Amino acid sequence: MNLKDFSKKIGVNSSTISRALNNYPDISQKTKDTIIKLAKKFDYKPNKSAQFIGSIKTSTNFKILIADKISESSYKVFKSNNISFDKKFNLTEGQLVDIISNYDGVVVRSSTKITKKIIEKSKRLKVIARAGVGVDNVDVKTATSKGVIVMNSPQSTSRTTAEHAISLIFSLARKIPFAHLSTINKKWEKELFKGIELKSKTVGLIGCGNIGSEVAKIARSLQMNVMVYDPYLSLERIESLDAEKSSLDEVLKFSDFVSLHLPIMNSTKNIIDSKKIKLMKKNIIDSKKIKLMKKTSYLINAARGGLINEDDLYIALSKKNIAGAALDVFENEPLINSRLHSLDNIILTPHLGASTAEAQDAASIQISNQISEFLKNGSIINSVNMSSISGSEKKLLGPYLDLTYKLGSFAGQLTENAIKAITIEYEGTASMVNQDLLTRNIIHNLLGSFIDNVNSINAIEIAKSRNIKISTLQNDQPSEYNTLIRVTLTTDRRSRSVAGSIFGGQSRIVEIKGIKIDAELGNFNVYLTNKDKVGVINNVTQILTKNKINIATFNLGRVSPQGEAIALIQTDQICDEPILNYLRKIKNVNQVKSIVI
C-alpha cells in the first residue's frame, strides 16, 4: 500500500502521516501512536520519499500586545521565553484596529474590549489572553471563526472573589459603609447602625462552583449555616462542604444572606426578579406580629451582572421588602446612571471581586506562562473556545470531535438533576483514537451546558470536584456499527444514555435511552418523549406549523407499539418556552426539551 492509498484509507492527509511516522515535534504523541497502530493494521510501510514530506518551519519571532496593566512578573516570563511585547494601555477600538496586525497575541484584563472589528482586521493574531476569569469583553465567537485561541486564568481569582463576597456580607451585617459615611459627616449615630452577628446566621448560596465552595468554607469557619442551591452538584459534594442541599425557593425563604455564584447564561439571566425577591425573608406578618419580631434578609452578587433584575431589586429595596443588598457586578458597566444610586440600603462596588494584589499577580503570571507555552510549543491551556489539540490532530479526529461535542452537549442539556457518574463507551474504531481527548471533549461540553469556565483542560478536574465519577470502557470489535460512542449519565433519580456514530464523516445520534433512532443534530432541535399513540405526531406538527417553525428533519424511535417512544426534531428556528409548553400539553406527551447545538 502506498502513501496515497493509506491516506485515503484512514482519512488523514499525507503530510500528517509522514510527520507522525518520522517523529516530527508538531505532532502529538497520541496522534503518532494512533497512526503507527493504523499503519500496522493496514500493513503500510513508508518509502523513502514519504519520509521527507511535510517538513516544518517553526516561527520563533513572536510579539504580543499588552493592552491592560498586568504584573511586572509577567514581563520576566515573556523575556525568558524570547517573546517580545509592547505595553499600550487605554487604546480605543480604532487604535487597536490600526495596530493589531503587528501582533501574534494580545493580553487584556476587563477594561479593553476585543471586538469583532479588531479580530477580523488582524492578519497574524493567534491568541487572545484574559488575565482573569470572565471573557465578556472578548468576541469569542468571532475569534473562534478566525481560528484564534481565547484563553483565561480561572484558577487565579477564586479565593479573592470569595473573600470579597464575604466582605460584602460583613459590611451589610455591621452597616459599615453607612456608618462610615455618617461619621465622616461629623455625626455619632451608634444606635442607628446597630448590626447583627454572623454566627448562627444562614447564608444561602445560589451556585456552588470554585468561588461558591470557597464562600461556603469561609462561612462555616465563621460558624454560619450554609444552604446550597446547585441542581448540578451532587449531595455528597455539598455535604463535604458541611452544607445543606436545598431548592432555590428554600434558599430564598430561609437564608439571612443570599449570595449568587452563577455564570450568566440564558437559564440564569434575571434568576432573581420580583417573584423570587418576594420569596426572600421579609416582613410578611400582620401588624401585631411585626411589633414582636423583625426578620431581614440581604442579597449579594459578586458573580455576574444580569443575574438580578435591577429594576425589580430597586422596587424591593425602596419598599423595604428586603433589608438590603450588595452588588459588585451590574448588567451594564460601568454603572453610571442608575436608580440604585439613590438607595440608602445598598452597597455598590465597581467590580472589585478579583482586585487584590495577590490575585492580579497570580492571574498575570498564569496567563503569561500559558501564552508562552502556546506560542512556543502549541500547548493550549485554559482555552474557552477550543480543546487541547494540534492542528494536524484536529484533522485526524475532526469527525470524532464533532460527534463527542454533540453527544456531550445533548446529554448535558437533557440533564435536570445532580450527576453522580458519567460512563463513556468506545466501540470499534472509536476505541483506537485519542480517547483522553474525546472524553475531555464530552465532559467539557456536557458540564458546559450548565457551568461556565469549563474547557477540555479543566473539565475532568471540575467533574471530580463535584464528586462525579467518570468511567470509560473500550471494545475494539465493532458491533452493529463500525464506530460507536455511548454516554451514560447516572443521577440521583435515574440512568440515561445517548449514543452516536459516524456515517460518511457526519455525526449521527443512533440511540437515546436504549431506543434506536437515526438522527442528525442541527443548531435547533426539539427532543420529545411520549406514549406511542395515534395523533401525537400530527399534533406536534400542527403546533410547530401554527407557530411558524419549519421542520428540517423528524426522526422517531420506539420501544414497542403502544409503548414508550421518542422523537428528535430538527427545526430551522429555535422553539421558545411558550411553544415548548404547547407541546407539553399534548395528550400522551411526557417530556419536551429544546436542544441547541
Residues designated as active site: 304, 333, 351
Assigned C-alpha cell, 24: 516530527
Query: What does the chain come to in residues?
Result: 597
Distance, CA of 435 to CA of 313 (rounded, Å) = 48
The residue type at 13: N
Helix-strand-coil percent breakdown of the chain, rounded to 5? 40, 20, 40
Helices (H) and strands (E) in the chain, counts: 21, 22
Tell me, what DSSP letter sits at residue 87? E
CA angle 235, 237, 239 (to 5 degrees): 65
Taking a C-beta distance cutoff of 8 angstroms, is the pair 547, 588 a contact? no
Task: Give residues with Cβ within 8 angstroms of 136, minimum separation 6.
Answer: 110, 264
Backbone angles phi, psi at 114, to 5 degrees: -100, 100
- Bridge pairing between strands 105-108 and 127-130: parallel
Contacts for 466-469 with beta carbons within 8 Å, 24 or more apart? 466/232, 466/233, 466/234, 466/237, 466/419, 467/234, 467/236, 467/237, 467/240, 467/420, 468/234, 468/419, 468/420, 468/421, 468/422, 469/420, 469/421, 469/422
Q: What does the alpha-carbon distance between residue 268 and residue 548 come to, in Å, rounded to a whole number? A: 27
What CA–CA distance (Å, rounded) separates 51 from 23?
10
Q: What is the DSSP string of 327-387?
A: ES--SSSS--S-GGGG-SSEEE-SS-TT-SHHHHHHHHHHHHHHHHHHHHH----SBSSS-
Note whether 543 and 505 are within 8 A (CB): no
First-to-last CA distance in the chain?
Answer: 40
Residue 178: Cβ within 10 Å count: 18
Helix (H) or strand (E) holding 63: strand 63-66
Nearest by Cα to 166 from 202, 215, 201, 222? 215
Q: In what order do the strands lie in the sheet with 225-229?
A: 244-245, 225-229, 202-206, 257-260, 298-301, 324-327, 346-348
Enclosing H/E stretch for 510: strand 506-512
SS3 572: coil
Q: Are 148 and 138 in contact (CB under 8 A)?
A: no
In this structure, what are the phi and psi dihedrals at residue 261, rounded to the nearest 5 degrees?
-145, 60
* Radius of gyration, CA atoms only, the chain: 27
For residues 305 and 271, the answer to whether their CB atoms sit within 8 Å is no
Tell me, what amino acid is at 431? S
